[in-house]
Amino acid sequence: MSIEQFIDKEVKSSDVVLFMKGTPQFPQCGFSGQVVQILDFLGVPYKGLNVLDSADLRQGIKAYSNWPTIPQLYVKGEFVGGCDIIREMFQAGELQKLLKEKGLTVRESAQA
């Protein structure tokens, strides 16, 4: 399986997937850590994939999305954004809205 096929399978087999540096328990970059905090605050289950475990994955995900940086958040197979966009959407209540539109449950207290 090519790295592109692997990524494609991953983003389509979990509702919310975060490509990040480190793990949700131990983020190893401040930008990845911010997205982890937002997802945890919203109480949304997600799969974290650590790009530091694989140089192929680290390069492959950038090519897959035409996006030069990590973290990258995918919802239902669709690329939503990196750290700046996710933070901006979260602060505007748009991330919560998007997740709900995609049929995911957002923690009640976290709704805008």
Site for another protein in 6-25 (CB under 8 A): none
Which span (8-16, 20-28, 44-52, 62-70) binds another protein, by CB under 8 A? 62-70
DSSP string over 68-85: -SS-EEEETTEEEE-HHH
Which span (15-23, 36-44, 79-87, 100-108) binds another protein, by CB under 8 A? 79-87
Comparing CB distances to another protein, the nearer of 25 and 66 is: 66
Distance from chain centroid for Cα 41: 14
Return all residues near 23 (Cβ < 8 A) that are at least 6 apart. 48, 50
| Chain positions contacting another protein, by CB under 8 A | 62, 66-69, 79-85, 88-89
